[in-house]
Amino acid sequence: MDLGLHASRVLVTGGGSNIGRGIVHGFAREGSRIVISDIDGAQAERVRTEALELGATEAQVHIGDLTRPGVADAAVQRACDRWGGLDAVVNNAGWSVPGFIAEDTDRAKWQRTVEVNLYTAIATTQAAISPMRAAGVGSIVFIASDAAFGQIRQGVYGATKAALIALARTTAREHGRHGIRSNVICPGLVIPDGPEAVGEASLWAVGDDAVFNDKQIEFLRKDIPLKRLTTAADIANAVVWISSEMAARQVTGQVFSVSGGYTMP
Rg (alpha carbons) of the chain, rounded to whole number: 17
Q: Phi first, then psi: what are they for 256, rounded to 5°?
A: -120, 125
Three-state DSSP class for residue 91: strand
pTM value is 0.94
Q: CB 106: neighbour CB atoms within 10 A?
A: 13
Can you tell me the mean pLDDT for 227-239? 96
d(CA 247, CA 164): 23
Q: What CATH code is carried by the domain that includes residue 113?
A: 3.40.50.720
Query: Per the structure, how many domains does the chain have?
Result: 1
Three-state DSSP class for residue 38: strand
The pLDDT assigned to 176 comes to: 98
pLDDT digit string (tens) for 86-113?
999 999 999 998 889 999 999 999 999 9
Catalytic residues, which ones?
157
Number of H helices, E strands in the chain: 10, 7
3 domain-assigned: no
Can you tell me the mean pLDDT for 248-252? 98
d(CA 244, CA 234): 16
Q: pLDDT class for 237, splitting at 50, 70, 90?
A: very high
Instruction: Determine contact, residues 111/97, Cβ cutoff 8 Å.
Output: no
d(CA 180, CA 174): 9
The pLDDT assigned to 245 comes to: 97
The pLDDT assigned to 205 comes to: 59
Q: Phi first, then psi: what are they for 158, rounded to 5°?
A: -60, -35
Residue type, 259: S
pLDDT digit string (tens) for 109-161?
999 999 999 999 999 999 999 999 999 999 999 999 999 999 888 899 999 99
263 domain-assigned: no
Residue type, 130: S
264 domain-assigned: no
The pLDDT assigned to 201 comes to: 65
Parallel, antiparallel or unpaired: strands 9-13 and 33-38: parallel
- For 51-76, give one letter per residue: b (16+ CB within 10 A) or e: beebebbbbbbbbeebbeeebbeebb
Residue 57: which domain range?
Answer: 9-258
pLDDT digit string (tens) for 55-86?
999 999 999 999 999 999 999 999 999 999 99
The pLDDT assigned to 3 comes to: 96
Q: Provide the 8-state DSSP code for 5.
A: -
Residue type, 254: Q
pLDDT digit string (tens) for 169-217?
999 999 999 999 999 999 999 999 888 888 776 666 555 555 667 777 7
